[in-house]
Structure 1
Amino acid sequence: MISLSETSETDAVKALRFKAIHRDMEGIDAIARRTVEFLPVYMLEKFGATHLKEFAIG
């Protein structure tokens, strides 16, 4: 997942979503740092309404 997140910021969002949904916190900080440029609305859209709890991990 970390190598996927390094290819682009969009892929970092996908990796972050996958890790959060599966409660895999290993390396999640590095991945999350690659997504800080995205607006919260964009991130909520990518995580979807069913995963709002995972989006709020922090």
Structure 2
Amino acid sequence: MLAKAGATRRRLEGFVFLLLAFLIWPFIAVGVVSGWGFVVWMYYLFTGPPGPV
């Protein structure tokens, strides 16, 4: 009984790892990068482009 529970838990951990590695983290990475780009875009909208005028 205990061996079966360990195998089931190991399979569940593998599934959760694959879910995080290939589905959730890429979306989080894209969201962070695009969010930073939006912040910089809004900053330049209010302050103007960088460099001498």
Q: TM exceeds 0.5?
A: no
Q: Which structure is larger by alpha-carbon Rg, 1 or 2?
A: 2
Q: Going by fraction, where is helix more abundant, 1 or 2?
A: 2
